[in-house]
Structure 1
């Protein structure tokens, strides 16, 4: 009798599971169809996931837009600070008595600490309040950035230590802010909001060059007061976050809840992501992009300054630092090229994807290959025509910025949503640590090696930096090839990510079913 009862109980359980499976499949089907909504005021044809986002996040669409604007503002301020530092490099060299290698050392200390602390904030962001982490991090960033302006002349070591602390604090915001935006929006709207957020990169960088050049010149070369502008704006951003930013729950836009952290699971995720060929090739392509962008931001204004001296378009100056407003012109070029590049890249890829699912890596690959040509010509002609050089740099930067938002998006959607946090951390570490962290140091080192014979020669000084920068088009070409290789695997990897996502959603629905 016991065996019969057990058999009957087994049949009942199987029937119940089968019934639940049918209900769960119906739930999954309804998530992609026009199901009835809580409100009758919703527009027809709207995305059901977007319509149901308010009850999931507890944040209205208007409030979400306000949060996006605040996060955009803070991102703008942080990139302004970085570019102000690049714009005043001649003044820093005069104060601290350093050459191109010293400038590269500033970059690698800042970016190195930034990348290393990305892992720390990525872990804390999974188990603590992201808003609190960002507020504390931005407050520390503002204080350390402000303190760097009080560094005594010729005390370069102290300046490096403060820059390292600044990079560590800045990582808190840049690591966690995109995840908050991802939790506020869904589908195509999320992609649009993320690329709006990323517009702060070229706009902030360009404004930093303009402010750094004009304000420092107006103050007679006093770079200390120029550096103090962004910390004040950063404190304002902290206050805005405290009073106006409401943190959404983790993963509500996708209907997933955060899971407890497991070190064993994390290592397993890293191993699986490392085997994702489209992710790895896209990350390597972005690394080449960041390498070139970092070298351009730091070294190209100085190259233009040295080219102007050779062309003798202005009378030689008699001060320690010669300012011919090239940083301001370069800043304007960067702003315009960045906006055009990011917007054009997203729109071209979006339209091309209707005909070719491999559109994203193909657009990135071919735009990088085109950028390599224009950057090579820009650096090669720098001592022949400054006008032609600016035009070529403008076109080259447009093609570079075309990749910026697309490449970051690729490295998220080719992996399962359950692994996006780990994938984002790996993406940032590889692309920054091997990219813009070391490029100024490498370019500056090559320039110094070729300029040892006669460092006082203006022509030799120009050509040494010119030859060093010619390595960038070669690196960009390798990056373009990596994106083209990624295009061969992206469809298969996307299918795997979608299958894993469906399995995770079905598992969660089964577990939470009454």
Structure 2
């Protein structure tokens, strides 16, 4: 069994090799030392991750319940493609504006109570939006913007809590569990939104009344079970990290961190693609079905299946497999190459580009082939969900982590999925402008617009390759600063 050594060589003032955890022995002494430092047992730490996973899950379920009901919303509010893309943009703009507020508060105040306040307000807004009549589109748009309160609170705070409970490979695994909630929540939201709305005769209002009840359960779990660790407790024996710096000084320090900045830009391309596909995939495949089986009705299973259910299952499976596989591949590759995290992300982005291109191209001729290809592309894309956050936590000191999460949220959504669905909708409308409407034109316009994602995927791979150049140096620098 490996023994645990101090992280600082006092004679030389340098970092010694970190403690190794013998994973075959389960809860090894070094891992137990971590939980002694935090004052929180291993079991309660695992339960805390489970609660944060649940919060992340229901948040994305709400976000993509809207996507699952998009055809009903377009009909109800008489929206064009650009108008439906605006729903996601308004939500994410609010999300971005509130992220730095919660990021700053998360580095200075009690994170447990901040989560409770954010989720309570979020649940109340969602419930209120379910009672908006169809003629008040502007009010529904406003309420969707206010939903960003809850998303901003947990997205900036939850990863820093996990980082304060675990170290090394355990932290990577726990982050992978947390981020698996994104694709699983997306898939469940697709299915629930489409199926529930269809089951109750197209009344989308009722689909928004399920999530608020789940949100109240999350608040109760936080209050009754969760115990917040001290900042940086897992990495320091008895030393508490307090942040007396201003928000601007923390931001300036982060801007000078090349690994953080480049990985953040790489993750921005991920959000651009995932935002575009998650918002428009259902509409794209519905339009493809119209062309494929308009003159020749099909009786096979794929023809009679619901696209929301198929794409929802693809999202869930690729999320569970991709996020977990990314962490495990990176962990093993890291033993021979310290830049493994960034290289795995780069391979995922560069590898997904050709599969996305083929999936969009072949949808006109074969739904089965297109779904298989988009499954592979999405699987490669999700490899980096947890790894990107692991990079952030390893190159940023504990007292700046919530601020770093907030800055990553602002940039990745501002340049990513806050405007990508709207951009795709605008491009689709521009391609059709001035031409006679037809089913083929409806399909082709959206197909050509979505091909922007292929180029963005290649650009993302370049950002992650650049991250690999600085990653090892910035990790050592963060370790030294964390040790004081």
Q: TM-score, normalised by structure 2?
A: 0.90
How far 1:448 moved relative to its partner? 1.0
1:78-108, Cα deviation, whole Å (9 max, x unpaired): 1111111111111110111111111221111
How far 1:45 moved relative to its partner? 9.5
Find the residue that maps to 1:245 and give its secondary structure: coil
Distance 1:447 1:324, change over 3 A: farther
Output the CA distance in 2 between the equivalents of 1:310 and 1:271: 53
1:302-358, Cα deviation, whole Å (9 max, x unpaired): 100001011126999xxxxxx962111100111111111111111111111111111
Equivalent position to 2:424, from 440, 443, 460: 443
Distance 1:245 1:28, change over 3 A: farther
Determine the structure 2 residue equivalent to 1:75: 56
Question: How large is the RMSD of aligned CA atoms in angstroms?
Answer: 2.5
Determine the structure 2 residue equivalent to 1:109: 90
Q: Which runs of 5+ in 2 are unaligned?
A: 1-7, 298-303
How far 1:447 moved relative to its partner? 0.7
Output the CA distance in 2 between the equivalents of 1:44 and 1:393: 39
Paired residues of 2:180 and 2:320 also in contact (CA < 8 A): yes
Determine the structure 1 residue equivalent to 2:456: 475
1:23-79, Cα deviation, whole Å (9 max, x unpaired): 966999999579xxxxxxxx9896555323344333211111222212111111111
The answer on 1:237 being equivalent to 2:222 is no
1:368-398, Cα deviation, whole Å (9 max, x unpaired): 1110100011111111111111001100000
Output the CA distance in 2 between the equivalents of 1:307 and 1:186: 47
Q: How does 1:273-288 map to 2 (within 5 A)?
A: 273-288=254-269
Output the CA distance in 2 between the equivalents of 1:102 and 1:446: 12
Find the residue that maps to 1:376 and give its secondary structure: helix
Q: How does 1:227-266 map to 2 (within 5 A)?
A: 227-255=208-236, 256-263=239-246, 266=247
How far 1:258 moved relative to its partner? 2.8
Count of aligned residue pairs for this structure pair:
466
How far 1:424 moved relative to its partner? 2.0
The answer on 1:154 being equivalent to 2:154 is no
Distance 1:29 1:398, change over 3 A: closer
Output the CA distance in 2 between the equivalents of 1:58 and 1:226: 41
Output the CA distance in 2 between the equivalents of 1:29 and 1:480: 31
Larger Cα-atom Rg: 1
Determine the structure 2 residue equivalent to 1:6: none
1:93-134, Cα deviation, whole Å (9 max, x unpaired): 011111111122111110111111111111112232211111
Output the CA distance in 2 between the equivalents of 1:351 and 1:314: 52
Q: How does 1:77-226 map to 2 (within 5 A)?
A: 77-226=58-207
Distance 1:332 1:226, change over 3 A: same
Structure 1, 354-363 or 271-280: larger mean CA deviation: 271-280
Distance 1:496 1:32, change over 3 A: closer
Q: TM-score, normalised by structure 1?
A: 0.85
